């Protein structure tokens, strides 16, 4: 009976922790168990008394607030204040930007899957769909990626005119200013389609619709600025660019040395108070063709002309190109995708105060504005482009792997190629789901700062992998440049996606977990706020409340993590779908493990954690893969759980879960403290590490799905542009694929006949005639085979040029670095 009593007390505590039951009900339940055993069983009185005293020693201080605050919370608050990481103003701004959505559930260790599945899944409006099916499709038909990249290093004039005429530059500008006023998913749909055809056009459209003058004005502009600039930007009368980066300030953008000094100067013949700007920016997209330059700089008011503060901080201004002192003109040459990009410099450029975005009231608010807008934009531009690029890779590589034969077999039938094909399909599925869910979050009113960083990093990294795999499968066909090459430029350009809008290493190591941990944690932000309160009594009350909530939360996550690990999450509350329930279970388990590991890391490393990028990068990976898997499951549900798509979902899911396990295992194995390494290992991996990479049978199934037309292939690649013309290389692949498949039995028949010595013609045309004459195939079959073989010949062909054509342009004069610096 005594052991049963101990077991019951332990059981009550474990169930309470697992279910997140609060202190008072736990105390009541424990008291009830002790009383019940005392009254109804023969457990010795001494044992009951000893256990009751031990319980009282723990329960009374925890439940009695004055004792708890005086003896527990107050001393801990002193330690906490010393451990509290110092947050710079820019870090604080980054933390304040954005809202917390589904990622908060994942981070907190007990995700409510019904809430994810119940979330609205917006669709395109009829007007948005008409735009995608109309002007976007027409644009794609006009684009000639080879000519644009190789001959023009730009878009032709008629494409620029078309973009302006159909207001492609005004997708995010409200309709009352002449823009298209599109939702985020429409914005995504346009970028996805255009980027799948021509990266130069994709970038040219993306930039005016992302962080820059239009978006800044929509959110922060004065009415006068909106009325003046937005209609001009929507119609393309003004082409914008935005300059933040300079030679010394890249990732560390708040260190920009560019200055604006408030002073008096001449403007349109009058003396006015304005700003004298000196700046040196580089890598600025659209700068060479821009008419309106958005600029970030540090604003100073040494003479107190606009207030009492001398150092106002980072501010943003809009500077028309023709303003005296602005120097634009030369171009950089971005790797592989020569879109318009170049430096902008300015020496003593004088602009009036109303050039400041939002007017003088917004002086010094520049960093906040940029970070708030980036929390949205990073989730759309590059994830959508990655989605378009990888869908095209899936479509084209699958078709090519079926059409291209070596050793008398389609190359897609070789197991080595299957591995790469499965990765292409799985990652394409994941990227599309990730980008769709992040855009949907924006449309639901979120400012998804953490999902945007996850989407930017993982969509571009997975796209890098997909493009490399696609290139490998295409062999020399992917390498030889020319109008027939539909992959090379995308592959060359991928480092651009990796670098812009927050370079990827920085995004992974600092931003995803750095922001995610503090923003998504249910207690940390409140604890920090309480610890910083000047009113000590209120501070202690608030801190005590948060601290004990936090302790309960941590114990709960430790217990949940261990029990879910031991039971393989069989008791987790998950949706009941037979095929996917096991996926939700695994995610619930890893969510609890992440919550526990994060708490241990934050509690033991405090402010030092932000410099431990090995740890933060890996913890961020776990959060990211949880989010990506959620997005895939949501997509699968919203598409009506198509059974035929299940292998792709399964591949992508196992790949992500395996990466999640690897990241967590590396956190555990490399945790700085040995005792904590053991504790983490026992709680997170009580039965060891069991996740496996997708198995060979699954890889085979997924790869085969790319090799023939099907509803699954259509769903995987929906939203990309497929030309209906056989003169377009992608259009030809799609036309040829079903006919190649249909004639495969004929090819086999010919091959057999040849092996049997029945055919001995010396080339394929003669072979067809011989096969007809020997009644191996009919003449109709020979006609079809001839047509298909001609298409295949064209598909595997690469381009050839006169050597003189390959000498591209003049050598160009490059200024020595020293002169630039002078």
Ligand X SMILES: Cc1cc2nc3c(=O)[nH]c(=O)nc-3n(C[C@H](O)[C@H](O)[C@H](O)COP(=O)(O)OP(=O)(O)OC[C@H]3O[C@@H](n4cnc5c(N)ncnc54)[C@H](O)[C@@H]3O)c2cc1C
**Listed ranges 107-115, 270-278, 281-289, 467-475: which one lies at the site for ligand X (CB under 6 A):** 281-289
- Shortest distance, position 341 Cβ to ligand X, whole Å: 5
- Shortest distance, position 282 Cβ to ligand X, whole Å: 8
Would you say 341 or 588 has its CB closer to ligand X? 341
Would you say 372 or 655 has its CB closer to ligand X? 372
Instruction: Return the closest-CA partner of residue 425 out of 454, 450, 401.
Output: 401
**Listed ranges 90-98, 240-248, 634-642, 648-656: which one lies at the site for ligand X (CB under 6 A):** 240-248
Does 422 contact ligand X by CB under 6 A?
Answer: no
List beta partners, residue 267.
Answer: 270
Q: Is 501 a catalytic residue?
A: yes
Would you say 454 or 768 has its CB closer to ligand X? 454
Instruction: Return the closest-CA partner of residue 317 out of 252, 222, 249, 207.
Output: 222
List beta partners, residue 292.
Answer: 240, 320
Write the DSSP string, 800-821: ---HHHHS-S-------HHHHH
For residues 757-796, which are near ligand X according to CB under 6 A? none
Would you say 251 or 765 has its CB closer to ligand X? 251
d(CA 521, CA 21): 18
Instruction: Return the closest-CA partner of residue 305 out of 366, 260, 255.
Output: 260
Would you say 507 or 630 has its CB closer to ligand X? 507
What stretches of 288-445 show up as alpha helix (H) in DSSP?
366-377, 381-403, 415-443
d(CA 377, CA 370): 10
Is 189 in contact with 171 (CB distance < 8 Å)? no
Q: Could you say which of 501, 546, 770, 781 is catalytic?
A: 501
Does 510 contact ligand X by CB under 6 A?
Answer: yes
Is 184 in contact with 439 (CB distance < 8 Å)? yes
When binding is defined by CB under 6 A, the residue of 204, 285, 460, 767 that contacts ligand X is: 285
- Shortest distance, position 513 Cβ to ligand X, whole Å: 12
When binding is defined by CB under 6 A, the residue of 198, 289, 382, 496 that contacts ligand X is: 496
When binding is defined by CB under 6 A, the residue of 171, 189, 284, 768 that contacts ligand X is: 284
Q: Is 44 helix (H, G, I), strand (E, B) or coil?
A: coil
**Listed ranges 498-506, 689-697, 716-724, 790-798: which one lies at the site for ligand X (CB under 6 A):** 498-506
Residue pointed to by tokens 């290139």: 471
Would you say 317 or 587 has its CB closer to ligand X? 317
d(CA 66, CA 540): 11
- Shortest distance, position 87 Cβ to ligand X, whole Å: 16
Instruction: Return the closest-CA partner of residue 108 out of 450, 508, 436, 533.
Output: 450
Is 431 in contact with 717 (CB distance < 8 Å)? no
How many amino acids of this chain bind ligand X (CB under 6 A)? 20
Binding-residue pattern over the window 612 to 651 for ligand X, x denoting contact by CB under 6 A:
-x--------------------------------------
Is 600 in contact with 679 (CB distance < 8 Å)? yes
**Listed ranges 122-130, 241-249, 419-427, 558-566: which one lies at the site for ligand X (CB under 6 A):** 241-249
Q: Which residue is nearest to ligand X (CB)?
A: 250
Diameter of the chain measured on Cα atoms: 105
**Listed ranges 259-267, 496-504, 667-675, 774-782: which one lies at the site for ligand X (CB under 6 A):** 496-504
d(CA 517, CA 519): 6
Does 293 contact ligand X by CB under 6 A?
Answer: no
d(CA 161, CA 770): 55
Would you say 229 or 429 has its CB closer to ligand X? 229
Does 153 contact ligand X by CB under 6 A?
Answer: no
Write the DSSP string, 411-458: GGGSHHHHHHHHHHHHHHHHHHHHHHHHHHHHHTT---HHHHHHHHHH
Would you say 643 or 814 has its CB closer to ligand X? 814
Instruction: Return the closest-CA partner of residue 585 out of 597, 596, 573.
Output: 573
Q: How many CB atoms lie within 10 A of CB 725?
A: 11
When binding is defined by CB under 6 A, the residue of 12, 143, 233, 244 that contacts ligand X is: 244
For residues 250-269, which are near ligand X according to CB under 6 A? 250-251
- Give the 3-state DSSP-derived string for 96-121, with helices as H, strands as E and coil as C: HCCCCCHHHHHHHCCCCHHHHHHCCC
Would you say 90 or 710 has its CB closer to ligand X? 90
Does 143 contact ligand X by CB under 6 A?
Answer: no
Does 499 contact ligand X by CB under 6 A?
Answer: yes
**Cα angle 195-383-505, degrees, rounded to a multiple of 5:** 120
Cα 90 to chain centroid distance, Å, stands at 22
Is 750 in contact with 767 (CB distance < 8 Å)? yes
- Shortest distance, position 313 Cβ to ligand X, whole Å: 18
Cα 369 to chain centroid distance, Å, stands at 21
**Listed ranges 390-398, 493-501, 650-658, 775-783: which one lies at the site for ligand X (CB under 6 A):** 493-501
For residues 317-376, which are near ligand X according to CB under 6 A? 334, 341
Does 283 contact ligand X by CB under 6 A?
Answer: yes
**Listed ranges 76-84, 175-183, 279-287, 394-402: which one lies at the site for ligand X (CB under 6 A):** 279-287
When binding is defined by CB under 6 A, the residue of 506, 525, 533, 581 that contacts ligand X is: 506
* Residue 477 backbone class (left: φ over 0; alpha: ψ -120 to 50; beta: rest): alpha
- Shortest distance, position 294 Cβ to ligand X, whole Å: 9
Does 551 contact ligand X by CB under 6 A?
Answer: no
d(CA 240, CA 339): 14
Does 557 contact ligand X by CB under 6 A?
Answer: no
Is 245 in contact with 284 (CB distance < 8 Å)? yes
- Shortest distance, position 565 Cβ to ligand X, whole Å: 31
When binding is defined by CB under 6 A, the residue of 23, 47, 65, 503 that contacts ligand X is: 503
Does 553 contact ligand X by CB under 6 A?
Answer: no
Q: How many CB atoms lie within 10 A of CB 424?
A: 30
Would you say 273 or 505 has its CB closer to ligand X? 505
Would you say 244 or 684 has its CB closer to ligand X? 244
Does 240 contact ligand X by CB under 6 A?
Answer: no
Would you say 237 or 613 has its CB closer to ligand X? 613
- Shortest distance, position 248 Cβ to ligand X, whole Å: 9
Does 209 contact ligand X by CB under 6 A?
Answer: no
Does 729 contact ligand X by CB under 6 A?
Answer: no
Listed in sequence order, the residues at least 6 apart from 33 whose beta carbon sits closer than 8 Å to its beta carbon are 5, 8, 9, 12
Does 243 contact ligand X by CB under 6 A?
Answer: yes
**Strands 405-406, 326-328: pairing kind:** unpaired
| DSSP, res 356 | B
Binding site for ligand X (CB under 6 A): 242-245, 250-251, 283-285, 334, 341, 496, 499-500, 503, 505-506, 509-510, 613
- Name the residues annotated as catalytic: 501
């Amino acid at each position: 009976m005594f052991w049963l009593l101990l077991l019951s007390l332990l059981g009550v505590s474990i169930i309470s922790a697992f279910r997140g039951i609060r202190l008072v009900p736990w105390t009541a339940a424990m008291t009830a168990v002790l009383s019940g055993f005392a009254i109804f069983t023969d457990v010795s009185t001494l044992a009951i008394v000893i256990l009751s005293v031990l319980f009282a020693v723990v329960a009374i201080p925890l439940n009695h607030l004055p004792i708890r605050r005086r003896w527990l919370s107050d001393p801990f608050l002193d330690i906490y204040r010393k451990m509290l990481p110092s947050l710079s103003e820019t870090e604080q701004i980054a933390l304040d930007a954005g809202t917390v959505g589904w990622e908060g559930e994942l981070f907190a260790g007990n995700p409510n899957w019904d809430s994810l599945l119940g979330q609205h899944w917006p669709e395109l409006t009829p007007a948005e769909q008409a735009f995608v099916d109309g002007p976007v499709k027409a644009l794609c038909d006009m684009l000639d990626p080879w000519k644009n990249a190789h001959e023009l290093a730009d878009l032709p004039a008629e494409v620029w005119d078309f973009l302006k005429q159909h207001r492609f530059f005004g997708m995010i500008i409200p309709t009352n200013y002449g823009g298209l006023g599109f939702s985020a998913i429409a914005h995504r749909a346009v970028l996805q389609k255009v980027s799948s055809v021509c990266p130069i056009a994709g970038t040219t459209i993306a930039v005016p619709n992302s962080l820059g003058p239009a978006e800044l004005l929509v959110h922060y502009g004065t009415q006068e600025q909106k009325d003046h600039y937005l209609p001009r930007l929507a119609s393309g009368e003004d082409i914008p660019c935005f300059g933040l980066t300079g030679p010394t300030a890249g990732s560390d953008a708040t260190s920009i040395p560019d200055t604006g000094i408030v002073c008096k100067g001449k403007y349109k013949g009058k003396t006015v108070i304005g700003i004298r700007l000196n700046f040196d920016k580089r890598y600025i997209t659209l700068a060479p063709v821009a008419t309106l330059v958005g600029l970030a700089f540090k604003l100073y008011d040494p003479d107190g002309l606009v207030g009492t503060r001398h150092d106002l901080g980072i501010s943003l201004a809009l500077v028309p190109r023709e303003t005296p002192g602005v120097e634009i003109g030369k171009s950089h040459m971005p790797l592989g995708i020569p879109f318009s990009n170049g430096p902008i410099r300015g020496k003593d450029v004088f602009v009036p105060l109303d050039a400041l975005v939002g007017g003088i009231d917004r002086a010094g608010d520049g960093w906040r504005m940029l970070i708030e807008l980036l929390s949205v934009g990073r989730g759309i531009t590059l994830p959508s482009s990655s989605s378009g690029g990888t869908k095209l890779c899936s479509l084209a590589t699958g078709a090519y792997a079926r059409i291209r034969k070596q050793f008398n077999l389609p190359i897609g039938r070789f197991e080595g190629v299957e591995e790469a094909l499965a990765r292409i399909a799985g990652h394409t599925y994941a990227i599309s789901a990730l980008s769709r869910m992040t855009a949907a979050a924006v449309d639901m009113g979120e400012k998804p700062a953490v999902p945007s960083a996850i989407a930017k990093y993982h969509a571009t990294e997975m796209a890098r992998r997909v493009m490399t795999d696609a290139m490998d499968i295409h062999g020399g066909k992917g390498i030889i440049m020319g109008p027939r090459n539909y992959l090379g430029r995308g592959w060359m350009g991928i480092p651009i996606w990796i670098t812009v809008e927050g370079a990827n290493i920085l995004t992974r190591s600092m931003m995803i977990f750095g922001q995610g941990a503090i923003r998504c944690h249910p207690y940390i932000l409140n604890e920090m706020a309480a610890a910083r309160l000047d009113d000590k009594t209120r501070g202690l009350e608030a801190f005590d409340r948060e601290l004990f909530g936090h302790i309960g939360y941590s114990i709960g996550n430790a217990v949940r993590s261990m029990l879910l690990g031991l039971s393989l999450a069989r008791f987790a509350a998950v949706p009941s779908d037979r095929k996917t329930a096991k996926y939700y279970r695994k995610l619930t388990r890893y969510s609890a493990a992440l919550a526990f590991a994060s708490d241990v890391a934050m509690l033991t490393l405090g402010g030092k954690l932000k410099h431990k990028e090995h740890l933060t990068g890996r913890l961020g990976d776990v959060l990211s893969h949880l989010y990506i898997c959620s997005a895939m499951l949501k997509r699968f549900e919203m598409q009506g759980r198509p059974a035929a798509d299940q292998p792709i979902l399964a591949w992508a899911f196992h790949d992500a879960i395996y990466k999640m396990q690897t990241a967590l295992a590396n956190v555990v194995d490399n945790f700085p403290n040995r005792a904590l390494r053991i504790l983490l290992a026992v709680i997170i991996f009580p039965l060891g590490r069991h996740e496996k990479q997708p198995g060979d049978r699954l890889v085979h199934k997924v790869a085969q799905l790319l090799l023939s037309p099907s509803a699954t292939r259509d769903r995987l690649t929906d939203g990309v542009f497929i030309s209906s013309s056989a003169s377009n290389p992608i259009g030809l692949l799609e036309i040829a694929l079903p006919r190649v498949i249909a004639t495969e039995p004929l090819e086999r028949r010919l091959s057999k006949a040849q092996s049997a010595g029945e055919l001995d013609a010396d080339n394929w045309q003669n072979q067809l005639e011989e096969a007809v004459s020997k009644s191996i195939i009919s003449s109709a079959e020979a006609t079809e085979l001839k047509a298909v073989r001609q298409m295949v010949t064209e598909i595997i062909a690469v381009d050839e040029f006169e050597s003189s054509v390959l000498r591209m342009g003049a050598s160009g004069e490059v200024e020595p670095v020293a002169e630039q610096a002078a």
